Copies of this chain bind each other. A is one copy, B any other.
Amino acid sequence: MKILDCTLRDGGYYTNWDFDNGLVDLYLQSLEHLPVEYLEVGYRSKPLPGYLGKYFYLPLPVLKELKSKSSKKLVVILNEKDVRAADAEELLLPVKNYVTMVRMAIDPKNFKRALELAQKIKELGFEVAFNVMYMSTWKEEKEFLDLLDKVDGVADYFYMVDSYGGVYPEDVKETIALVRSKTGVRLGFHGHNNLEMALANTLVAIEQGVDIVDATITGMGRGAGNLKTELLLSSLQAKNQLNFDYNELAKVVDAFSDLHKQHDWGTSLPYMVSGANSLPQKQVMEWVGKRYYSFNSIIRALNNQTLGKRDN
């Protein structure tokens, strides 16, 4: 079982993908001593409107520098919705010597299109991972399920992503069984922490034989954030499943805890509600921000939306 730390990528949602150079150096140095195989350091993307920082575009010199400071396998992720197969070569070939794996964040509705992109990335010589979102809805995505066996021979890892942070251990088991009924691909799990179930779900995924799991230092990541790397490592160390230098872990956790004081990621009532009800957390947060909506009316409205009713 392998661990992928995606602090800079998923944490970037809070800093617009800018991080202090000293913090990144400390992160890379500490991670050298921790049992983490892959570091996802950000996105690669064509220019998008608005300002997006260094770790959203990861230009070649940045990747070169990161690679010079780390012996870990570096990973970048693409937003499938923004990248076509025809763009892959221009976007990825230049960074070939510095990046081991390319992940794709995929809406199951676009799965067919994603397969073309994946094929292209594989041909360029990268390890390829599918990060397929909204795992709690897959059962209902017949077209997606019918295409699942097409990942064989293309995907090195097929990730189940708990986008809403709303799944429970029994859902993780069920989804693993569902995917396994279609393909023999190696599996990954990317949890979110809306319901503080990220560790429980990840441990069940590991117990079920998943090959790779994601975590971030202090759980830094979009919305309610991710499984905390320090929590996963502490739990597995106590179970004698791995061993590492706690001082190095404490160092990097301390550094990101300082950043946490500024940005305050982690779960909170609106995130819990969105997780528990599989409602889009972006919308819950926006509406809660506007104080003139009551909590009850927000939840009612979002539930109505989910049921396909008109808002009122």
Contacts and interface: CB of A to CB of B under 8 A. Distances in A.
Contact of A200 (B169, B238, B250, B299): B169
B246 A299 contact: yes
A211 interface: no
Contacts of A235: 195, 272, 276
Nearest to A219: B196
Nearest to A288: B250
Interface of A: 166, 168-169, 193, 195-200, 203, 228, 230-231, 234-235, 237-238, 245-247, 249-250, 253, 257, 267-269, 272-273, 275-277, 294-296, 299
Contacts of A273: 234, 246
B269 A234 contact: yes
Contact of A295 (B168, B195, B249, B299): B249
Given A168-B200, A197-B200, A234-B273, 5 more contacts: A169-B169, A238-B277, A246-B295, A247-B294, A253-B269
A296 B247 contact: yes
Contacts of A247: 294-296
A235 B168 CA distance: 10
Contacts of A200: 168-169, 196-197, 199-200
Among A196, A200, A253: residue with most chain B CB under 10 A: A196
A163 to B, nearest CB: 16
B249 A269 contact: yes
A195 B197 CA distance: 10
Contacts of A267: 231
A109 to B, nearest CB: 24
Contacts of A230: 269, 272
A257 B270 CA distance: 13
A277 B234 CA distance: 9
A262 B253 CA distance: 21
Contacts of A277: 238
